[in-house]
Amino acid sequence: MAAAPVWSVDPRTGKQREQVAVEATAQEVDAAVRAAHDVRAALADRAVRAAFLRTAADELEAAKDSLVEVADAETALGPVRLGGELARTCYQLRAFAKIVDEGEFLGVVIDHPDDTATPPIPDLRRYKVPLGVVAVYSASNFPFAFSVPGGDTASALAAGCPVVVKAHPDHPALSELVASVLRRAAARHDIPAGVLGLVHGFEAGIELIKHPLIAAAGFTGSVRGGRALFDAAAARPVPIPFHGELGSLNPVVVTEAAAAERPEAIGTGLAGSMTMGVGQFCVKPGLVLAPSGAAGDQLVKSLTEAVSDTAAGVLLDHRMRDNFIAGVAERAALPDVDSPVTPGAGGEHTVSPGFLTVPASRLAREGEYDLLLEECFGPVTVVVRYEDQGEVEAVLSRLPGNLTATVHLSSGEAAGEGRGAEILRELTPLAGRVLVNAWPTGVAVAPAQHHGGPYPATTSTSTSVGGTAIERWLRPVVYQNTPEALLPVELRDANELGLPRRFNGVLER
């Protein structure tokens, strides 16, 4: 049987643009993984890795116009949004290059023998080494930052791990183009093209996670797809780490005092956040606890006006559009659920943003309203109207893990009055990033960033954004009583590489 073609599709029309590839066979997946495995030695030199990452950023910037044009044709996200995302991606590559240069990620610790300790301490030298070939599963909603050149790829390469990417079917032409740019950057440093493999097709993704030479995987996508791959990674004869980002409601709590103090600002801010990128951000606020009464009414009025003024938009593909329309219709049909602005079909190829409201009492216990506690991908949010703090606590107690959790406080509460600190304590177990008087959309690439959270937000405790993402693709090794001449250069006493390290209990920088 001939391999199935891979088509680039214009989401604005639903029409096929061009055939860009064919779905990879098991043999082709095997060839890509083995080629990546053979390239590991070419990434051993940290200076070469750092230079490669910087060159990759340079080459992506040089190809910006053509990359953004293709990305827009396949995603309908718009040149402005996509240009910014490409800039973020290049910044991320350079940030990891700096981390590689500094060497702190190696976690070097050296303990000389101490016979006076109980028990005695032998000569121990610890650092971290790359795991091996990493499988990366691209996301639909970030064709640069969470795709072929994105955070998983950048952090894995920084760790010294070659990568095989399973391209997302929503932007296959862009994936092929970006892969060629990255391979061109690799060639400038004598790194073979196998350092970045690229395969297409659902079955190829399954074959990839099962391949015995794959040492770890990174995934961004749905709960259903991510959980299937996570289970497959665990079921292998040799299980591997699977760092999956699966889904998130990103709850928001608006206190009564905050709603009374600035209802218009909160309403318009929520509208902007939940409709940004046509509601296709993984940190879109999907559930908002707002007070009943006059203050909450004003907030809802402001939200209604702002969402009503937001134009219909194109989702990444028609399957997502169909799921969005069906999902909001099913939610809106529940008793006591109102639609101040009805979300749904905006046209033949677009969707209209909107939001639903429901009394908090309906969500305080298990039942048919549990559907409102599931992520709905697209420009919609659920405003839960509460009567008292007890209802807030009851709803929060039923939420799964999230990437973010937000609270909007009054100026007095932010200064320490009232229950601000208590609400923060209630939100902290729910998410990896907790925000105060801000909106979760927009994930800064910074050393202190954490983009992850309790399951199902992610399947591990690691981050996919920020410098510490490199830790996912490393494992520690300790050498005991090893002669200096046989040690890796990073673990020798002289520290000729000038690495940050802990030497006999003292931190050296």
List pLDDT tens digits, range 15-54: 999 999 999 999 999 999 999 999 999 999 999 999 999 9
Rounded to whole angstroms, what are the CA distances from 427 to 190, 252, 296, 415, 423? 49, 9, 21, 18, 6
At 292 the pLDDT is 97
Find the catalytic residue in 90, 161, 282, 376. Answer: 282
Same-domain status, 229 and 335: no
Domain assignment of residue 259, yes or no: yes
How far apart, in whole angstroms, are the C-alpha atoms of residue 254 and residue 256?
A: 7
Q: What CATH number does residue 137 fall under?
A: 3.40.605.10
| Residues 6+ away with beta carbon under 8 Å from 143 | 71, 74, 75, 77, 82, 85, 168, 170, 171, 174, 175
pLDDT, mean of residues 216-221: 97
Instruction: Say whether 61 is catalytic.
Output: no
330 and 407 belong to one structural domain: yes
This prediction's pTM: 0.96
CB 399 within 8 A of CB 253: no
What are the pLDDT digits (tens) for 316-356? 999 999 999 999 999 999 999 999 999 999 989 999 999 99
In a domain, 348, yes or no: yes
Looking at residue 1, its pLDDT comes to: 56
Helix, strand, coil proportions of the chain in percent (round to 5)?
45, 20, 35
Q: Indicate the number of domains in the chain.
A: 2
- For 86-130, the pLDDT digits (tens) are 999 999 999 999 999 999 999 999 999 999 999 999 999 999 999
Give the residue-averaged pLDDT of 275-282.
96
In tens, the pLDDT along 153-182 reads: 999 999 999 999 999 999 999 999 999 999
Q: Is 451 inside a domain boundary?
A: no
400-454 tens-digit pLDDT: 999 999 999 999 999 998 889 999 999 999 999 999 999 999 999 999 999 999 9
423 touches 437 (CB < 8 A): no
Q: Within a domain: residue 211?
A: yes
- Distance, in Å, from the CA atom of 328 to the CA atom of 336, rounded to the nearest integer, reads 14
Tokens 């894995």 correspond to 156
> What's the pLDDT at 509?
85
| Residues 240 and 281 reside in one and the same domain | no
CA terminus-to-terminus distance, the chain: 60
Count how many residues are written for the chain: 509
What would the pLDDT profile of 180-198 be if each residue is shown by its tens digit? 999 999 999 999 999 999 9
- pLDDT given at position 364: 86
- 310 and 207 part of one domain: no
Q: Do 264 and 211 share a structural domain?
A: no
> Does 42 share its domain with 182?
yes
Q: Look up residue 177 and give its two tokens.
A: 């183009």
Distance CA 319, CA 224 (A): 15
| pLDDT tens for each residue of 456-508 | 999 999 999 999 999 999 999 999 999 999 999 999 999 999 999 999 999 99
Q: pLDDT (tens digit, 9 = 90+) per residue, 119-140?
A: 999 999 999 999 999 999 999 9
pLDDT at 216 over 60: yes
As a whole number, the mean pLDDT across the chain is 97
| Known catalytic residue at 376 | no
Contacts 24+ apart (CB under 8 A), 223-228: 223/247, 223/375, 223/456, 226/456, 226/459, 227/456
Whether residue 2 is predicted with pLDDT greater than 70 in this model: the reply is no
Task: Give the CA distances from residue 160 to residues 96, 106, 306, in Å, rounded to whole numbers and listed in that order.
Answer: 11, 11, 47
Are 121 and 238 members of one domain?
A: yes
CB within 8 Å of 149: residues ≥ 6 apart:
56, 60, 89, 93, 178, 181, 182
| Pairwise CA distance, residues 245 & 257, whole Å | 34
Structural domain boundaries enclosing 45: 24-246+460-473
Whether residues 73 and 219 share a domain: the answer is yes
| Structural domain includes residue 7 | no
Query: Of these residues, 28, 245, 391, 413, which one is catalytic?
Result: 245
Whether 283 and 210 map to the same domain: the answer is no
Claim to verify: residue 270 and residue 204 sit in the same structural domain: no
CA distance 68 to 84: 10
The predicted structure's pLDDT at residue 430: 97
